[in-house]
Amino acid sequence: MGDVAVRTVDDLGAEVPLTGPARRIVSLVPSITEALAADVPDRLVGATQWCTHPADLAVVRVRGTKNPDLAAIRALAPDLVVANQEENRELDVRRLRDAGVAVWVTAIETVPQALTSLARLYDEALGHPAPPWLEQARARWSGPLPAERGRVAVPVWRDPWMVVGPRTYTSDLLHRLGWNNAYDTGGAGADRYPKVDLAELDTAGLDLVLLPDEPYVFTAEDGPEAFRQVPTRLVSGRLLTWYGPAMVEAYDALLLADA
């Protein structure tokens, strides 16, 4: 393609100036980092400190998702930075673009959106065929919904207690596993991660509270002891919140888990 610009837009409709398939990529999204490391490891040159999969990932670290080191990113001379509307700040995206760095922002609030967004990223920005895990995830998540399993809540923090609310990938994933997220309520302006009282969580008539290990690290000694009435289960936060290769594992592990 030489230096002929390829006109493409990200999930938010912003134009992403590319002159061909991205060859030097910095990922600010842990789940997408996992995907890129699996499929195009030679193109991934930078990632955040929260990009923990694969465990042996050897690329330059550019600090966190909310406070990326913009100078370090520019120094890597990427032809594409991958970001996410929820995980990364608009200010950082704007500053990178103002510095001439191409940024592709994903916007994902449902499982179907994840499948479509990732397929388009691979096709239009990477010029790479859809990877096997993406086809496997599409096959698993495109079937009929399972029977309803009950009402759940998913805390993501404590002191104060915060839970997964509406318009989130996690809530949609739970729905497609047969669970009814008790806090997926309210209109367009409702808080996506509302604060709740612990007493309310424990007496809200829930069938289960799922305690993930991220962003707050709930453990057997930190979390279950707070609940006296509702059952709890520790679960991998990666399976609940990461889109990418984790989507295949999430379906297999969480759908088959006992209610």
Domain locations along the chain: 6-130, 150-255
pLDDT exceeding 70 applies to what percent of the chain? 96
Using the predicted structure, report yes or no on whether residue 226 has a pLDDT greater than 60: yes
Which amino acid would we find at residue 125? A
Using the predicted structure, report yes or no on whether residue 171 has a pLDDT greater than 70: yes
Cα–Cα distance for residue pair 138/7, rounded to 1 Å: 27
Contact 152, 207 (CB under 8 A): yes
Contact 36, 27 (CB under 8 A): yes
* Nearest by Cα to 57 from 69, 47, 68: 47
Using the predicted structure, report yes or no on whether residue 2 has a pLDDT greater than 60: no
Superfamily of segment(s) 150-255: Nitrogenase molybdenum iron protein domain (3.40.50.1980)
pTM of the model: 0.92
Cα–Cα distance for residue pair 19/1, rounded to 1 Å: 7
For 6-130, CATH number? Answer: 3.40.50.1980
Cα–Cα distance for residue pair 212/149, rounded to 1 Å: 19
Using the predicted structure, report yes or no on whether residue 49 has a pLDDT greater than 60: yes
Using the predicted structure, report yes or no on whether residue 217 has a pLDDT greater than 60: yes
pLDDT tens across 111-153, in order?
999 999 999 999 999 999 999 999 999 999 998 888 999 999 9
Q: Is 7 exposed, middle or buried (0-12, 13-18, 19+ CB in 10 A)?
A: exposed
- 6-130 and 150-255 share one fold: yes
